[in-house]
Amino acid sequence: MQVKDNTFLITGAASGLGAATAERLVAEGGRVVLCDLSDAVEAHAERLGDAARAVRGDVTSGDDIQAAVDAAIALSEGHGLAGLGLAGVVHCAGVVSVAKLVDREGNPADLDAYLRTININLVGTFNVMRLAAAAMAKNAPGEDGERGVIINTASIAAMDGQVGQCAYSASKAGVVGMSLPAARELSRHGVRVMAIAPGVFETPMMSEIPDEAAQALAAAVPFPKRLGKPDEFARLAEQIITNAMLNGEVIRLDGGIRMQ
């Protein structure tokens, strides 16, 4: 599949990995619908020009994501490309959570906080996949019979979870676990499913931790000894879109780091 002249839905697109992916796909001649809860998504879409549209939406809401999918189809048709519809999704929306099962005072972790993380990171991913796949299955087949591609965002925490990451690691491990069965199921529709598992990246999430901790994480990366850049994630997403043999796999993008 090519990026040029195709339309993609990007979730979590107001900043970080999602924003960088939207920028790269537009630069390569694609069109994008940016979906995010933040009102900053509208300003980012304006900066990208006529090839971009913004939709405020919650990834856990069926109505919101269906509206974003419909917007992508409309954007495609608005450029005289009826029939191609939604060609791909890069799902970047998610939250980070840290909480010990038992805190220093002996109190158990908050169950509602755990459920929120699972709901956004895992259920939200399933919600985006199911609605995007249903739309892509209606596309006219391209080369190799391909009708679409879904790229989810996991995390190295799915494999290397640290203390306090039970909720976050479980949610991202779930994303990893869905990749192969989803790819197998959707193969009959010509839809590929992939996941990227980023390491430590320069995103708004990283800005929430102290500078000293961020520097320690950067120093722990074997090479290059720095935090990842959002465009490096976007470049991998572009490669997945254009390389039809990438399917049913999770790619670590982490500079070789293995979390302690």
Active site residues: 168
**Which residues in 237-247 are b (16+ Cβ under 10 Å) and which e?**
bbebbeebebb
Would you state the structure tokens that stand for residue 255, as one six-digit string?
């500079």
Residue type for position 111: L
Q: Phi, psi at residue 193, to the nearest 5°?
A: -135, 125
- State the Cα–Cα distance between residues 170 and 240, nearest whole angstrom: 25
Task: For residue 236, give the nearest of 248, 222, 220, 250 by alpha carbon.
Answer: 250
- State the Cα–Cα distance between residues 185 and 195, nearest whole angstrom: 16
* DSSP string covering 191-227: EEEEEEEE-SBSSTTGGGS-HHHHHHHHHH-SSS-SP
Would you state the structure tokens that stand for residue 139, as one six-digit string?
């596309």
- State the Cα–Cα distance between residues 175 and 250, nearest whole angstrom: 9
Which contiguous run of DSSP H or E holds residue 250? strand 250-253
Would you state the structure tokens that stand for residue 41, as one six-digit string?
């998504």
* Torsional sign, CA 58, 61, 64, 69: positive
Would you state the structure tokens that stand for residue 137, as one six-digit string?
């299955």
